[in-house]
Structure 1
């Protein structure tokens, strides 16, 4: 049997074909554009995602007996608002996770309704990027579109809908809407009421591995797949990445070094951190996780290399950094190019270089970018450790994990070993694994991960450098409070 994992990403949809033994037979990527009609806005056309799937699957199946495909799982960018009307047409472009237009609505929720009340309803406080503030913005700024809503969906769920005709979501993705009662795994009547919604407008909730339907006949024929292909509910990209990296079960940890960065820690029972600085979400295996999110991780390096240095030679730029310089750089970088979530919840935060001298070099600044992202991940890990969660090792995946230097920096800054996954396409791999559980190839998600996921190496921290980075981190974490007032004055 074969299983297809679909990852609806921010810059591209990635499709992965996995066999029953966990072998990756093929990977296909289809890119699309993001519209930014105003500063801080970020939108995509959901039909571009669907076109990427329809164009990508035939290529994915080249040279393969398509009749052996048994299941499909979807994962994708979280928090995006997709709205359908009574004829199942997309009402307006999807408002994405990295869109900051709802700053006013977030302020009203946390201030007027109250952080404590919002956390009691959902397990989280309001963040710019979450789905509920987008709905409040839509109700206030585009009332004609809001009144036309029949169904609210998330990005990967729109693809599941196009595949099966079913309106469903899973608990992990629903957790990031600020509409789910995460503790009790149901839609929050309080939050739906605040947003002027009722349950009929929401998709049906499922566990990530649950079957939601089979392919619509016309879709199966178009894609060249059997009509019997089963589709599972799938998961949010970070929850799916944890599965694809083998980070399942209580106490497991996974870091995603993608455009954004996350550190996710699985728990068997529900738990919020005392200040709600971490996201409390459901995971893809029936439990919960605490997750720290930094909005720009590998995206910082892409910005630095492309926009500033105007080069694509990542290897050469990082090769100019001496290993002897690790932990001794006097240049610091705040990686808040798109504002920040954990731990500041500040959409007005900005990126900044601090500490440059006349002798500072190009390599010093490149190193500072890599270190700034690592320090931001440490912010997340420190909150988890304050909650007595075990962050003593982690798997790591994502495009940024291709850099051995960056892995060494992160390992040293966090002071933990990092296990590198065999495929950097962990989200799509996780989605395919969830489909295999759905089809009965494995009894549960944990059994599937034990059987299929292997690492290709481990990066161990250098204890001498760890000590040096401890001092540098203490300096770095005082920079944001010093500049916060300035950031609030910048539009």
Structure 2
């Protein structure tokens, strides 16, 4: 039997999966690392933490493996998108990585839109300038840390830096490159036009490769630290949402995935890059060959629930918290929550909006607040589904992965709010499974990712919407959507107080 490893470099931890040729996950390892948040809106990490914890995770996998380590044929990667790592001429990290959920770059987004033009942005990278993307971060460093920018010879995204440290090879795959705002997604090349408009030297951009391409082998020193074979093949991998889509089987038209992790995403397969959503949702290259996907994003999905628990119910376990919420009727007894803890992306593109609880009274208990948070997160994801439907996409079946797929309450809530059949994969490993599938395909085990999916991904259990709940949620959803417009100006004016100690 042969094996591959899928590595998912997330925001809070790196998760590693050991998978055999039948798609069975034999072992999982997770290693956490800290987030650096010095100011409101700032979000950074030390790339060295990713490397150290990944090596520790690989060693743990190898130590627990009872077979011949040379049978682990390949490794590939999924990674948090949009992050910026700047390297100097010696390929040393210049400053901490600026992450996807960092929102300091509003002025830079405005500059990009002005100098490049919205029409060009929708024509070339197919996305408008948003704070989360990589390009605004490059301009921020250029403007606010000129001494660091002057040292920069190359930028990478998180999983590409991790892979570089394991192999010594510098690349970025198309799906992650598409999340920078610098890629011409149809031509599969860096946009000279955008680089010139913003005075960015094209050499700052790394070499491009397909997600399933072999880019090298692990270095001798890594093999010695982990016990893995130096002959193990390393494949490029992809952006976490693209890999999550692969791991959920979103590999053909009509497939839509909802993932609730730290952020929440709605991903739908696109066979070509010629459609237009007017920048309302993201349009990017898939990690599957010659394919694309559209994506709506809720910046603080699972993060909203974990924040709520850690702030107001630290001593209560998640299972107990959700069990209490399951006893609360639809609508949380007239309580609504908006998950705008770090701003919002779809559909509002607003870095200054913040969360609200609306409708509180003295009868509300912890269980009502918990249910309201879960419903608010799901309402936010439904805004992306609504956009897809308005543009002609039929969404009657949704594949649920991430934290939202681990709760029967949340699965039913999604079915009711989306008014769609929700399917939960029997073996849901998300982006890590997608990375493992890219390694399996790249290693030649299968002729296509679709063939790999037919072996690796098993039938899902399904949850049907409850008609009575669907009708109640339709009314509540309209009330939920009104909160953004009612609180937008108040939140904008409160910004002046947020960075005051």
TM-score tier (shorter): over 0.9
Structure 2 residue 65 is the aligned partner of structure 1 residue 63: yes
Secondary structure at 1:259 match in 2: coil
Whole-angstrom CA distance in 1 between matches of 2:186 and 2:249: 24
Whole-angstrom CA distance in 2 between matches of 1:183 and 1:131: 19
Whole-angstrom CA distance in 2 between matches of 1:356 and 1:342: 26
Report the counterpart of residue 390 of structure 1 in structure 2.
Answer: 394
Question: Per-residue deviation at 1:73?
Answer: 0.3
Question: Per-residue deviation at 1:458?
Answer: 1.3
**Which stretch of the first structure deviates more once superposed, 107-116 or 453-462?**
107-116
Secondary structure at 1:177 match in 2: coil
Whole-angstrom CA distance in 2 between matches of 1:112 and 1:360: 50
User: Would you say the 8 A contact 2:334–2:359 is kept in 1?
Assistant: yes
Structure 2 residue 111 is the aligned partner of structure 1 residue 108: yes
Question: Per-residue deviation at 1:366?
Answer: 1.4
5+ long unaligned stretches in structure 1: none
Report the counterpart of residue 53 of structure 1 in structure 2.
Answer: 54
Question: Per-residue deviation at 1:357?
Answer: 2.8
User: Would you say the 8 A contact 1:135–1:195 is kept in 2?
Assistant: no
Report the counterpart of residue 217 of structure 2 in structure 1.
Answer: 214
Structure 2 residue 2 is the aligned partner of structure 1 residue 9: no
Instruction: Give matches, 1:158-173, under 5 Å.
Output: 158-173=161-176
Structure 2 residue 480 is the aligned partner of structure 1 residue 479: no
Question: Per-residue deviation at 1:112?
Answer: 5.0
Question: Per-residue deviation at 1:316?
Answer: 2.3
Whole-angstrom CA distance in 1 between matches of 2:353 and 2:158: 27
Question: Per-residue deviation at 1:117?
Answer: 2.5
Whole-angstrom CA distance in 2 between matches of 1:467 and 1:176: 37
Instruction: Give matches, 1:297-446, under 5 Å.
Output: 297-321=301-325, 325-327=329-331, 329-446=333-450
Question: Per-residue deviation at 1:454?
Answer: 1.4
Structure 2 residue 233 is the aligned partner of structure 1 residue 230: yes
Question: Per-residue deviation at 1:187?
Answer: 0.9
User: Would you say the 8 A contact 1:82–1:158 is kept in 2?
Assistant: yes
Q: RMSD in angstroms over aligned alpha carbons?
A: 1.5
TM-score by length of 2: 0.95
Return the match for 2:452 from 427, 448, 472.
Answer: 448
Q: How many residues align?
A: 491
Whole-angstrom CA distance in 2 between matches of 1:297 and 1:100: 16
**Which stretch of the first structure deviates more once superposed, 344-353 or 475-484?**
475-484
Change (3 A) 1:405 1:271: farther
Whole-angstrom CA distance in 2 between matches of 1:49 and 1:423: 26
Question: Per-residue deviation at 1:258?
Answer: 0.3
**Which stretch of the first structure deviates more once superposed, 481-490 or 265-274?**
265-274
Return the match for 1:256 from 248, 255, 259.
Answer: 259
1:306-335 Cα offsets, whole Å, 9 max, x none, are 112223422222222356712574111111
Structure 2 residue 239 is the aligned partner of structure 1 residue 239: no
Whole-angstrom CA distance in 2 between matches of 1:161 and 1:8: 14
Change (3 A) 1:285 1:104: same
TM-score by length of 1: 0.97
Secondary structure at 1:75 match in 2: strand
Whole-angstrom CA distance in 1 between matches of 2:116 and 2:246: 35
User: Would you say the 8 A contact 1:327–1:466 is kept in 2?
Assistant: no
User: Would you say the 8 A contact 2:332–2:368 is kept in 1?
Assistant: no
User: Would you say the 8 A contact 1:71–1:231 is kept in 2?
Assistant: yes
Secondary structure at 2:127 match in 1: coil
Question: Per-residue deviation at 1:272?
Answer: 4.4
Secondary structure at 1:442 match in 2: coil
Secondary structure at 2:65 match in 1: coil
Report the counterpart of residue 22 of structure 1 in structure 2.
Answer: 23
Secondary structure at 1:15 match in 2: strand
Structure 2 residue 190 is the aligned partner of structure 1 residue 187: yes
Whole-angstrom CA distance in 2 between matches of 1:53 and 1:328: 41
Report the counterpart of residue 42 of structure 2 in structure 1.
Answer: 41
Whole-angstrom CA distance in 1 between matches of 2:350 and 2:342: 10
Whole-angstrom CA distance in 2 between matches of 1:314 and 1:456: 24
Report the counterpart of residue 72 of structure 1 in structure 2.
Answer: 75
Report the counterpart of residue 90 of structure 1 in structure 2.
Answer: 93
Whole-angstrom CA distance in 2 between matches of 1:43 and 1:358: 39
Whole-angstrom CA distance in 1 between matches of 2:177 and 2:257: 20
Report the counterpart of residue 136 of structure 2 in structure 1.
Answer: 133
Structure 2 residue 477 is the aligned partner of structure 1 residue 464: no
5+ long unaligned stretches in structure 2: 496-501
